[in-house]
Amino acid sequence: MNNYWELSKDLPNESNQEIIGEFLLSLKVSNRSQNTITTYRHFLEHFFGDMKETYLSLTSNTILEWFKNNGAHFSEATLRLRLSILSSFYKFCINENYIDSSPVKSRWFPRLSQTLPKYLEKDEIAKIRNHSEITSLRNQVLVEFLLTTGCRVSEVSELNREDVNLEYRTARVVGKGKKIRFVHFTEKCALLLERYISLSQNSLKALFVTSTGKRLHVRTIQLILMKLGKKAKLKTNLHPHRLRHTFATELLAKGADLAFIGDELGHSDVVTTQIYARLPKREIISLYRKYMG
């Protein structure tokens, strides 16, 4: 199917057909990944394919009854994903002023028991940034890039200077399965990158290099961060993936949608991003206050 963001079948209700088409198109315009949009489309086709009522008149009881009848075989992660998709659809309807409130209730979402993602607290982020400034410009840029892009350490190691676009504040990275995506970084990170690149040898290909001009490999980056973490007197070792979790958690604390976070992280399956939905609601509120005041 070429236009993967378009419904592949007719729904019983024309109003549902139209509004879901608008929602999927909005995901496409927002540059959500094809996999994410396809996952959303498949479930919405399945759910609203059973509904003759318009989305405007669907009650919480009707929706809950559908999940009881059709979701018995769902795992907790799958059930949370399906509810999240439906909740995102209704949030879109609220934002477009089609409805006033969502019939999807937060209490329906199952609590997943797996380990919570380990992220840095706000004061820990400040300590890491401060100590990176003391060591070298390269380390400062490395920390800032990891914190503001959420990249995997392997993606950062393989970055070349030509992959970075300072004007648009984007970088082309090669993720798992050799999938290419563009990540975004902050203005502060762009300024540091510009300074770092201008002071580097013009003949270098790799972005992050050793003092002798050789590419920083994954293990070297891990050791750099571990040393920074010890100097900053963190309670536990600092690993690159902890910065990735921090990036995702900060987005979540600021209200970002899980699908958007998954796209930024380069998750091929939106189920993977559900790890961040395990953070308790009160913890998200606390995080928001820490990051936003």
**Residue ranges of domains in the chain:** 14-108, 122-292
Active site residue 179: no
Active site residue 245: no
The beta strands (E) that lie in the chain are given as 164-165, 170-174, 180-184
CATH H-level superfamily of 122-292: Intergrase catalytic core (1.10.443.10)
Active site residue 32: no
Q: Rounded to an integer, what distance in angstroms lies between the CA atom of residue 118 and that of residue 120?
A: 7
Active site residue 276: yes
What per-residue confidence (pLDDT) applies to 65?
92
What per-residue confidence (pLDDT) applies to 282?
45
**Candidate list 91, 184, 241, 290, residue with the active-site label:** 241
User: Residue 270: is it exposed, middle or buried by C-beta count within 10 angstroms (0-12/13-18/19+)?
Assistant: buried
What per-residue confidence (pLDDT) applies to 291?
56
SS3 238: coil
- Considering the domain 14-108 in this protein, what is its CATH number? 1.10.150.130
- Parts of the chain with a pLDDT under 70: 1, 111-117, 177, 268-293
**Candidate list 42, 176, 195, 205, residue with the active-site label:** 176
Q: Fill in the DSSP letter of residue 275.
A: G
pLDDT digits (tens, 9 = 90+) for 24-36: 999 988 877 777 8
What per-residue confidence (pLDDT) applies to 255?
73
What per-residue confidence (pLDDT) applies to 292?
52
- Contact partners, residue 176, CB within 8 Å, separation at least 6: 152, 266, 268
**Candidate list 32, 82, 138, 152, residue with the active-site label:** 152
